[in-house]
A = this chain, B = another copy of it.
């Protein structure tokens, strides 16, 4: 048993976060969404909680030591949704052993799930799809790489039926697991499909942080575009029962992944008819010249693109403003597009809401 972990329960109405490791009683969510963090660190001089996202407030929050060396702090009320966080133990940034880890900030990071008033992303009594780890060879990177593939609930039972595909990307410092763990993509799709609000579809998630040299991390958007176009799409169409047609293929992503979705989607309209940008990836420049001029002829664009969708959280002011300006410039230029707002910050709750609005508009 890890020594920093606290297993004893609090005597109040708080509840252990669902993002904790099994049995860990801290962090705990208070009824008013304050969060109580607690760790056991008798020999440390200073212990703090450092938020890794806006919804937890600014921090860092200094924890207070009791006479046994157990450190506690209760934060102000947090925003609903998933928030990354770290501990600072005598200044060293590390995980809370009470939390599961989530890949973010380029490493394995603690996270805390704060309940919302709605729960469209929980495991419900509906048919469930699967998330499959599919290893494949990428010629572009010279690596075996894992793609994560959501297949809808009826996939194994539907004989020769073929499905449309959404390529869905994470943000900077995250990876192919992030939409599954932080984003709850499978539960969002399961619930939408069960309610007949979205078409049964395959969702493909890959790692957009493509190394530019072997052994290096890095952004490498050009390399990622080549992975998607030359390696990933052909593998997916050869491996799964897809409809290998632009009108049955969508691409979307969040933050850095929004930029990739716009770049890859608008750069390959022979491959994609639906494009989604969640919190970023907009260039508020002239629609006539942006993206190599693909938007210049509005009539031609309208014929080709079935959906151009952009979302932003109201609490991420800069991204929201830029997206709204781009939305208006596009409208003015005769390019139809959806601008979706939700109340949250540059965090996963925004992107869950985005997906819930975006997915029902696909493949109709």
Binary flags per residue of A87-99, CB closer than 8 Å to B gives 1, else 0: 1011111110111
- Chain B residues within an 8 Å CB radius of A2: 86, 93, 105-107, 109
A234 within 8 A of B: no
Residue of B nearest to A23 (CB): B217
Docked pose: A217 CA to B209 CA in angstroms: 35
A16 within 8 A of B: yes
From B89, B98, B137, B218, contact of A89 by CB (8 A): B89
- Chain B residues within an 8 Å CB radius of A109: 2
Docked pose: A97 CA to B109 CA in angstroms: 8
From B39, B91, B130, B218, contact of A132 by CB (8 A): B130
Q: How large is the interface on A (under 10, 10 to 19, 20 to 34, 35 or more residues)?
A: 35 or more
Distance in Å: Cβ of A341 to nearest Cβ of chain B: 30
A239 within 8 A of B: yes
Docked pose: A44 CA to B41 CA in angstroms: 13
Docked pose: A171 CA to B60 CA in angstroms: 37
Most chain B CB inside 10 Å of its own CB: which residue of A95, A100, A173, A186: A95
Known contacts A100-B108, A132-B130: A89-B95 contact under CB 8 Å: no
Docked pose: A175 CA to B98 CA in angstroms: 15
Distance in Å: Cβ of A269 to nearest Cβ of chain B: 30
A133 within 8 A of B: yes
A22 within 8 A of B: yes
Decide: B128 and A135 in contact? CB cutoff 8 A. yes
Docked pose: A239 CA to B130 CA in angstroms: 11
Distance in Å: Cβ of A133 to nearest Cβ of chain B: 5
Within 8 A of B (CB), among A210-266: 211, 215-218, 239-240
- Chain B residues within an 8 Å CB radius of A128: 134-136
Known contacts A89-B89, A92-B89: A106-B44 contact under CB 8 Å: no
Known contacts A92-B44, A132-B130, A133-B131: A218-B108 contact under CB 8 Å: no
Binary flags per residue of A179-214, CB closer than 8 Å to B gives 1, else 0: 010000010000000000000000000000101000
- Could you tell me which A residues sit within 8 Å of B by CB distance? 1-5, 16, 21-24, 39, 41-45, 47, 86-87, 89-95, 97-101, 103, 105-109, 123, 125, 128, 130-137, 144, 149, 156, 173, 175, 180, 186, 209, 211, 215-218, 239-240
12 contacts between A and B (CB under 8 A): A2-B86, A3-B93, A22-B106, A23-B215, A23-B217, A39-B92, A42-B91, A89-B94, A94-B97, A95-B101, A108-B108, A131-B132
